[in-house]
Structure 1
Amino acid sequence: MKLRDLLRKTPMRPDVAGEPPRLFDVAHGETTTFTTTPETFAELLAGTGTRSIQEQFLVLETLADEGRARPAEDGFEVTAEELARLSDDEAQLLRLPGRFTGHLEAAFRSTTTRPDFAVDLSLRTGRYPEPFRRTGAVVTLGLAQHAETYRLSPPALRALRAVEAHQRLSPAARTEARNMRVVAELQAAQRMAASQDPSTNDPHFDLDLRHFEQFTTRVPERVGVVVEPQDDGSLAIMPDVGVAPADLRQRWHQLPVDEDADGGVLRVGKELVLLDRERLAGVREVRRRPRIPKEQVREFLGAPGAFFDPDLVDVELRFSWLVAGLGRLAPVTFAQAADAGPEWISKEHGLTAPEVLAERPRTVSEHEEIEHTVAEAWERGEDVIPLGEDIVDISNRSRVEEALAVSRERVTRLGLEDAEDDVTDLVSAEEPSGPQVRVGWMLDDAEDLSERLRQAADNAALQRPVDYASLCRTPYPHQVEGIEWMARLMQASLDGADDDPARVRGALLADDMGLGKTFMTLAALAEAQRAERARTGSARPTLAVMPVALLENWLDELEATFGSFTGPFDDVVVLQGEGLAHYRTGRGRETAVNEDHLDHDGMVRRDVLPDLMRLRVGERFGDARLDRPGTLVLTTYDTIGRYQVSLAQVDWGTVVFDEAQALKNPDILRTRAAKALRARFKLLATGTPVENSLRDFWSLLDAAQPGLLGSWAQFRERWDAPMREATGERHAELGRALRAAVGPFMLRRVKEDHLDDLPPKILHTGEHARMMPPAQVQAYDDEIARYRAKAGTNGAMLGALQRLAQVSLHPGLVQDEVLADGVGAVDLSARTKVTVREILDGVRAAGEKAIVFASTKRMQRALALWLRDLYDVPVDIVNGDTPATGSEDSRVRRIRRFEQRPGFGVIIMSPLAVGVGLTVVGANHAIHLERHWNPAKEAQATDRVYRIGQTRPVHVYHPMAIHPDTGSFDVNLDRLLRSKIALKDAVVVPEAVTEDEVARAMGLA
């Protein structure tokens, strides 16, 4: 039983003066436990208990939400690694020892090639080393009554553990590889200490590695794939760990053969490549399949996750291509390679001089894309990039920069003229909202296919009336329109041959958030089932893919729509957690293919394919199969990526992708897996068809109805580049023309046009901008001075922006001790002060509820403590680490508890965590304490409260901190966000503000 639901009744009590504060009992080890009595823990779950232990409880509960702690009986468990990572204010609240700020010294004996090689570490806080004892992340120095206890930093913990593990080895086990591994671990600890990550940075970590300083250590964050075309058309495959493949060919034997090894090290000259357990498994996974036969090359490029386990190998965005004849690695996305095909990748390439960059771009957007590609390549240390069919040498930075400068001047000079021509060509003289509007190019095959598709969709008609009587609720008029639009297209998809490119295959439901997309979709799916049963006597299974947080919501909607758990479906299966375990079969990974599974042509044998799949699909499993006729399967985006081979074998009737912006990137595994699914119809549902750029929109339509908008290259030339360069009415015209080109394959409505009974939404624009208190002004000025002192150095601008954003939210984010000062810290920030003292005080006076949106977790935690103290109410936090589903304390359940409590209430949410389908109409005040740089994300957050079911006026606030003497971060960001808002009837939604734009607005660039 979850006591939290039963016991939140009384307010938090202050500590009693004169009595020691009640605290968790702490027992240190490799896992540290924090425990208390059952009675006290029940009080804590109820939101009560004295302040000191309640502060500790909130820290531990937040850590558990983030996956950094584990709930235990009457307490929590925290690993040594996480204890070391705690910030100073978290550690202070938990009453942990202070950070060790002394010195570590290393002594080496013998050489790494000998079995008597050894490393000794000593610790000291004064002039001389002291005896010490480590217990997890805690170290005790000195003897008996003079002993002092400290908390180790992550680098110090890593160094001590590495040396201890090496000391436990027998002489026979101290091979050169094992000996070099401890050196590599110590170097990795050095690098951690010097990192910019505040959780690992340790300016006090001082370790002299003597002559081993001549070695450099590489710790790859991922294992990728190096692909080398062979003369016979096949591909040679090698692991990519950031070292030239030629240097590694003869060194793989250095890795341990033991499958249970917790890592390994590769020595390449003076470089050490340190692999942890996960990266070692990734290397083994790639080496398991060293060759892709010629016949499978195109399949591999389209779905590399079907060949290598995506949990171990990075097959998401790009892989390294060993360019034939050059021996150079070029970064190529799988989508680029798949589009080009084996014909391009098998060519002998010569290097193209960087001067080609001056002439190749035709538009500003093409120039910016190339500029971005070059910058990314340089950041990864690469010296070539693919450009069309060329491999461009970018090793000489000055020549590249000169060529890009020429390119930018040229495309900028021609930009306005080109944009004018684009508008003239793109928009016909006909009414742009009609179905006859067409772009002005000569019709080629792609345009002919687009026109045929639009005609097929226009001609789709309902084959039978919708059975609204079977629904448990009466749809609104706009929902009737949506249900019948989907039903027409779903029924039209049953016509035509599977391989007919002009067959209706899918659509995009892009309604504004809050219009009831899930309800409409379920009603339309019921009609699709009935239509197919009427034709054939049976119905194919249906698949619905969504973020894990929406599984509970879909189950609730099923019952609310049809009055039962299954509704019109023969069965409903949740392919997640226990449901996934039930339908798994066999051992190992789905992608584990070896040479025994291949025929003489190198193809996977049909007779072994069922044995490679890891889900019960196909008739051989009888009634135990997942894909039973008439079944609705609910699953997640991660699952379709992990089991794409199995799920791609199913003949689905309809596949629904909810919150389909998850498929906005065509290069990632889940998008390719989604496109590979076989279905008569694919419905993509999202309230934000564009989150960052028009590429998002193309990717969604390409998944729903391939061919409608042509290839990405065609779409970029015809729509993306002109719209980037157009402004004002030209931009609006292009938006309407693109909307017409999509035609009936997209339905997009906004709430204000269709919900007459929706209460008003009041935007309190600029009403809550307040002058910074003196402490905040000083902290802000200090950051500006810090930037000016470092201006021009690597990363100075980005670091300054991040710190100015933190200071503008609260100066305590750069001064840890301030956040732990209690309620008084509210008044040290203009934003928190106006949020609490004005906005929330007013909400409480009205007896209403509010959501405070903030993404910084330290701010979330501090604010929750302050509000519990001030208002004597439970204050939950919902962020990306809160369990999404399958828990008594999931996001949905926390929200429901918040809504069900009578009267005033506050809940703190991350705008990203609530951007997927959650409804919080119990609140009618949305306070954006921390702005998101993407207006689309901010709108998603606001629309959690402004949707069907809301009965009270909705108030939206944007607190701002104003600097008395200079344009502040908040003012500039607000202005930029406003500039991104587009017309509501265009396809385009607001684009994200970039760091460069903010930097220019702030005068930092």
Structure 2
Amino acid sequence: MGLRDMLRGLGMRPDETDAPMPGFDVTFDDDGANFVTTASDLELLRRGQGQRTAQEQHLVLEMLAEQGAARPLPNGFEMDAEDVARLSDEEAEIVGLPPRFPGTFVAEVRSNTTSQRFAVTILAHSGASPQPSNRLGPTLRLGSATSYRLSLPALRALRAVEEHSRLDLDERTESRNVRLVAELQGANRLAAEGPEESRDPSFRLSLGHLDSWSTTVPESVGLVVEPGTDGSLKVTPDLGTDVDTATLDRRWRQLDEESDTGVLRVDDELILLEEKQLAGVRNVLSNRTIPKHQVPTFLKAPGSFFDTALVDVELHFGVRVAGVGVVTQSFVEASESGISWFDDGATVKPARVLPDLIQDLASLTAVERDVDEAWTAGRTVVPVAEELVDVSDHDAVQEALVLTRARLRRQHESRPPAGARERTVAVGVVIGDALPLTDLLRARVADVSPPRAVPYADLLRAPYPHQREGIELLSALMAASLDGDADAPDRVQGALLADDMGLGKTYMTLVALRELMAAQDARDERRPTLAVLPVSLIENWEGELRETFAGPVFDDVVVLQSGRDLGRFRIGGAGRETSAIASNVGNDGMLREDAIRLSLRVGDAHGPARLDVPGRLVLATYETLASYQLSLAQVDWGAVVFDEAQNIKNPDALRTRAAKGLKARFKLLATGTPIENSLLDFWCLMDTAQPGLLGSWPTFQEAWVTPMDGADGERKAELGRGLREEVGPFMLRRVKEDHLPDLPTKTVHSGVPAPGTDIAHDPRLALTMPPPQQAAYDAHVQAFQARAQRSQGAALKAIQALRAVSLHPDAQGDSALAKDPSGLELSARMRAMLPVLDDIRSRGEKVIIFVVNKKVQQHLALWLHQRYGLPVRVVNGDTAAVSKGGGETRRRIIQDFEAEPGFNLIIMSPLAVGVGLTIVGANHAIHLERHWNPAKEAQATDRIYRIGQTRPVHVYLPIALHPHHDSFDLNLDRLLRQKTTLKDAVVVPETVDEAELATTMGLLD
């Protein structure tokens, strides 16, 4: 059957037909782009009907809407200008946007910033002569017909110039003129050093003599305090990490007393103060000296001396926080945590990120030294700034360092003399070691019980027996945490809820929190509650609250997320809490207390506008926790819940330190995978929940890690059970098979025979690579074998390439994938998948296809859309978890997928949906692209195998075979099966290391 006939058979119109075609007309306005059609044609596209080009356009627009970059309209979509500018060239072409502007821009500067005649004009060069820049939204018009798409730096520069040109002459004050200079310099920095999707190597505006200026716009006002000779204190405004406070002290007289904004000139550096920051500076300057007799009061309550709405002052940390200091990462700890180069944990970055992480020449020299030492010692990872960087590929590292040095030298040559701008460092809470606990604590919790009978009848959903058990244990431990001094190390402080995925951990947690609220009320000790969770689970928690309780349990619920409630509680103009001027750090690595600043409204000083109102539930992400760790560490939380707590398994990560630094009567860590890589994960989780229970890391390592590393299977199981007993009631761990007798069967189907296991062999799932795929595969193997030096870095690159082409021969790089279903025939795995999909369709059931590669996700959705006549949605790491501007979220997309009657399919990344989501409307899962970590793979599978599933579950593992030797898929499958699992708690699957796989395949000795 030809493509034309196939499309007609599916109810789709081929491109050649004369019939009217539903599609999108693209128009532009100053705000962005509009993609509109008729409501009836839009409905046709949603049902999978229409010509292929329109379907492609609709698919990409839907994906952009899921990511929050586009907003649905009744008759199409709309995009903001900046989101249009961020699109890749391929995405822009598909949705019908003009090509990127191929020319350059030149700025003409008139007069100087102190003059009302100051102005900047930007001319576009494309061809022989420059032309005025005629912008409409995200596009540049040259002449009457030619239109181009602008890059983000160019868009921001043109907008800034246009806004300034609209000012009346009397509005062109020095501060407004300087603001324009700052915005244009910011566009230059974005083009050269911004995020990858925003960079534009061809964009560079020269501002003439203004290029020698450095313009800074401080975000907040803090305090610098110095002792006087008479015992008093001298207080000076601190404008943030990029401003030399000592130099500024001689410049305050430059501020205009009448103006609402101000400009400070320090040599060739301009500091622009917005209205609020200027008010904060004036507030501090009005009270610069604290007399000796008032010093104790000031140090105890600086907020009584200054307006806390304008100046950051108050600081109160918990007992485990030793202070705020420079944060570094230990390679030894990181390597022992089993980090994988291909893991999604955002812990190890490739060498290409080095230019983004190194901000000055001194740091570059230190990194070069660390890299040399790592290479000499045979290590492949070094800590840089707040990240760990893979340095196994020597050539890539050297290239990145050369580029970094060249960039820093250029910046150094254009900056003021040394000393005008200070180096900044990353700071965060520094956690002290926990004291070892006595057996008295274990005895105290051996027979704890809830303070009251749990009123289950008030719940909208009756608990299962295992959930009753969990609720009552958690309620008892939470109530016990209210006893004793909050700072006493041997009180009940927390627990680990490590139940298997799908047993209802969120439900049990919420009911236990209700019981804790009741216990607090009985003691008149109501406090706020914090839940830290992946962004994808925010809607899930809100839904669980509605579905569990008939009425409100908390006084209110706040989502501390951009686009939700974060703006209400962020102190206007406050800078980053986790960045500080290096000179404010002492020799001991600790930040001076007067240099610490907060960015959220917490504490009594903010009254009812504070975040930490008693009785409130605050939902925050792990990213928010790390970014606002100093503010959140000031709050006396009644309970803190860490959902999907494996996010804080690495003791060196900022988010983990932030978690340990929170003050709370009780910390509950919920995770179905208490170990993803090694026993370090488990120790770190328990050290957060109940500090000291397992001793220090060296003590734990000697007692448990070393013996288990050298043990055989039986001995390892014995040690795992012993560790489980050591933890006692501070961890609750159950598995589905033991507690859900009515759960249907789960069958794993593989193309590889697996004797001695429960895996069903299905020969259909193992196919030989088609010739194009085999050729691409062989080319990468031959390229590696032809290298004169087969380093570990080269082997890892080869593994990455083989992983990609084993999915699809065009999955890597700039290779274009086919736009019709013939692309399916080029992949052995996809060809093996098609009979399975046909069987599922014949049964009228639903299936999830797990794929990590985003390039393949998009094309696979189009191919399957055309093959089955169904709109195929994609949920990946870019899909919005929280609604932005009316866009759809993961939860909504999944609900729509499940609501469709009969056969349906959806493509998901296991990285995006591996946690928290319930998708029991589907009972089939195809792992088209497998994860290196079997724990992650199990998390993805268990989205469909959990409470609420009523049909037998089937999981499929398609395999691509090579005709002459064992393929990548075969080797990966063998290694994954060798990893061990103990269901009774502590030992779980280990990650396949890429070097291990390279060795197995003969790429490494």
- Asked if structure 1 preserves the Cα contact closer than 8 Å seen for 2:70 and 2:78, the reply is yes
- The equivalent of 1:516 in structure 2 is 504
- The equivalent of 1:706 in structure 2 is 691
The yes-or-no answer on 1:575 pairing with 2:558 is: yes
Indicate which of 619, 628, 631 corresponds to 1:635: 619
Measure how far apart 1:148 and its partner are. 3.6
Measure how far apart 1:24 and its partner are. 1.6
Deviations 1:409-444 (A, max 9, x none): xxxxxxxxxxxxxxxxxxxxxxxxxxxxxxxxxxxx
Task: Return closer, same or farther for 1:738/1:397 CA change in 2, 3 Å cut-off.
Answer: same
- Secondary structure, aligned partner of 1:71: strand
- The equivalent of 1:830 in structure 2 is 828
Between the aligned partners of 1:666 and 1:578, the Cα distance in structure 2 is 25
Amino acid at match of 2:604: P
Between the aligned partners of 1:124 and 1:105, the Cα distance in structure 2 is 6
- Asked if structure 2 preserves the Cα contact closer than 8 Å seen for 1:511 and 1:749, the reply is yes
Deviations 1:550-588 (A, max 9, x none): 4554455456556x244xx4x563323899999998994
Amino acid at match of 1:59: V
Amino acid at match of 1:865: L
Between the aligned partners of 2:710 and 2:263, the Cα distance in structure 1 is 51
Between the aligned partners of 1:790 and 1:240, the Cα distance in structure 2 is 51
Paired residues for 1:831-910 under 5 Å: 831-835=829-833, 837-884=834-881, 889-910=888-909
The yes-or-no answer on 1:610 pairing with 2:604 is: yes
- The equivalent of 2:85 in structure 1 is 84
- The equivalent of 1:350 in structure 2 is none
Paired residues for 1:584-663 under 5 Å: 588=571, 609-612=603-606, 615=609, 627-628=614-615, 633=617, 635-637=619-621, 654-663=639-648
- Asked if structure 1 preserves the Cα contact closer than 8 Å seen for 2:533 and 2:620, the reply is yes
Between the aligned partners of 2:799 and 2:987, the Cα distance in structure 1 is 28
Amino acid at match of 2:899: Q
Measure how far apart 1:688 and its partner are. 1.9
Between the aligned partners of 1:298 and 1:727, the Cα distance in structure 2 is 58
Paired residues for 1:434-449 under 5 Å: 449=437
Task: Return closer, same or farther for 1:105/1:891 CA change in 2, 3 Å cut-off.
Answer: closer
Task: Return closer, same or farther for 1:792/1:183 CA change in 2, 3 Å cut-off.
Answer: farther
Between the aligned partners of 1:645 and 1:361, the Cα distance in structure 2 is 27
Task: Return closer, same or farther for 1:174/1:851 CA change in 2, 3 Å cut-off.
Answer: same
Normalised to the residue count of structure 1, the TM-score between the two structures is 0.69
Between the aligned partners of 1:814 and 1:708, the Cα distance in structure 2 is 47
Task: Return closer, same or farther for 1:108/1:975 CA change in 2, 3 Å cut-off.
Answer: farther
> Which ranges of structure 1 fall in alignment gaps of 5 or more residues?
1-9, 301-306, 316-333, 346-356, 386-391, 409-444, 619-625
The yes-or-no answer on 1:945 pairing with 2:944 is: yes
- Asked if structure 1 preserves the Cα contact closer than 8 Å seen for 2:153 and 2:203, the reply is no
Measure how far apart 1:988 and its partner are. 3.9
Q: Report how many aligned residue pairs link the two structures.
A: 878
- The equivalent of 2:581 in structure 1 is none
- Asked if structure 2 preserves the Cα contact closer than 8 Å seen for 1:224 and 1:241, the reply is no
Between the aligned partners of 1:712 and 1:214, the Cα distance in structure 2 is 52
Deviations 1:370-419 (A, max 9, x none): x999999996378999xxxxxx98775687358746999xxxxxxxxxxx
Task: Return closer, same or farther for 1:380/1:729 CA change in 2, 3 Å cut-off.
Answer: farther
Normalised to the residue count of structure 2, the TM-score between the two structures is 0.69
Measure how far apart 1:809 and its partner are. 3.0
Between the aligned partners of 1:109 and 1:590, the Cα distance in structure 2 is 30
Task: Return closer, same or farther for 1:405/1:516 CA change in 2, 3 Å cut-off.
Answer: closer
Task: Return closer, same or farther for 1:164/1:883 CA change in 2, 3 Å cut-off.
Answer: closer
The yes-or-no answer on 1:483 pairing with 2:471 is: yes
Measure how far apart 1:849 and its partner are. 0.9
Task: Return closer, same or farther for 1:526/1:266 CA change in 2, 3 Å cut-off.
Answer: same
Measure how far apart 1:741 and its partner are. 2.5
Amino acid at match of 2:72: P
> Which ranges of structure 2 fall in alignment gaps of 5 or more residues?
1-9, 302-307, 341-346, 382-432, 578-591, 753-764
Amino acid at match of 2:839: G
- Asked if structure 1 preserves the Cα contact closer than 8 Å seen for 2:876 and 2:909, the reply is yes
- The equivalent of 2:373 in structure 1 is 400
- Secondary structure, aligned partner of 2:93: helix
Measure how far apart 1:61 and its partner are. 1.9
- Asked if structure 2 preserves the Cα contact closer than 8 Å seen for 1:227 and 1:238, the reply is yes
- Asked if structure 1 preserves the Cα contact closer than 8 Å seen for 2:773 and 2:806, the reply is yes
- Asked if structure 2 preserves the Cα contact closer than 8 Å seen for 1:617 and 1:650, the reply is no
Deviations 1:527-571 (A, max 9, x none): 5567777x7699877665544544554455456556x244xx4x5
Paired residues for 1:53-64 under 5 Å: 53-64=54-65
The yes-or-no answer on 1:935 pairing with 2:934 is: yes
Measure how far apart 1:806 and its partner are. 4.0
- The equivalent of 2:358 in structure 1 is 380
The yes-or-no answer on 1:502 pairing with 2:490 is: yes
Measure how far apart 1:478 and its partner are. 3.2
The structure showing larger relative contact order (alpha-carbon pairs under 8 Å, at least 6 residues apart) is 2
Measure how far apart 1:149 and its partner are. 3.2
Measure how far apart 1:748 and its partner are. 1.1
Percent of paired sites with the same residue: 45
- The equivalent of 1:810 in structure 2 is 808
Measure how far apart 1:872 and its partner are. 2.0
Measure how far apart 1:999 and its partner are. 5.8
Amino acid at match of 2:948: G
Alignment RMSD (CA, Å) = 6.4
Measure how far apart 1:220 and its partner are. 13
- Asked if structure 1 preserves the Cα contact closer than 8 Å seen for 2:496 and 2:686, the reply is yes
The yes-or-no answer on 1:919 pairing with 2:918 is: yes
- Asked if structure 2 preserves the Cα contact closer than 8 Å seen for 1:462 and 1:488, the reply is yes
Between the aligned partners of 1:254 and 1:813, the Cα distance in structure 2 is 59
- Secondary structure, aligned partner of 2:913: coil
The yes-or-no answer on 1:742 pairing with 2:727 is: yes
Task: Return closer, same or farther for 1:196/1:599 CA change in 2, 3 Å cut-off.
Answer: closer
Between the aligned partners of 2:824 and 2:239, the Cα distance in structure 1 is 52
Measure how far apart 1:893 and its partner are. 3.2
Indicate which of 754, 759, 765 corresponds to 2:739: 754
- The equivalent of 1:330 in structure 2 is none
Between the aligned partners of 2:807 and 2:898, the Cα distance in structure 1 is 27
Measure how far apart 1:510 and its partner are. 0.3
Between the aligned partners of 1:727 and 1:761, the Cα distance in structure 2 is 29
- Asked if structure 1 preserves the Cα contact closer than 8 Å seen for 2:118 and 2:177, the reply is no
- The equivalent of 2:676 in structure 1 is 691
Task: Return closer, same or farther for 1:12/1:450 CA change in 2, 3 Å cut-off.
Answer: farther
Measure how far apart 1:242 and its partner are. 8.8
Measure how far apart 1:687 and its partner are. 0.9
- Asked if structure 2 preserves the Cα contact closer than 8 Å seen for 1:544 and 1:633, the reply is yes
- Secondary structure, aligned partner of 1:503: coil
Between the aligned partners of 1:922 and 1:366, the Cα distance in structure 2 is 36
Task: Return closer, same or farther for 1:789/1:587 CA change in 2, 3 Å cut-off.
Answer: closer
- The equivalent of 1:25 in structure 2 is 25
- Secondary structure, aligned partner of 1:709: coil
- The equivalent of 1:331 in structure 2 is none
- The equivalent of 2:7 in structure 1 is none
- Secondary structure, aligned partner of 2:891: helix
- Asked if structure 2 preserves the Cα contact closer than 8 Å seen for 1:84 and 1:154, the reply is yes
Between the aligned partners of 1:537 and 1:148, the Cα distance in structure 2 is 71
Task: Return closer, same or farther for 1:273/1:694 CA change in 2, 3 Å cut-off.
Answer: farther
Amino acid at match of 2:502: G
- The equivalent of 1:417 in structure 2 is none
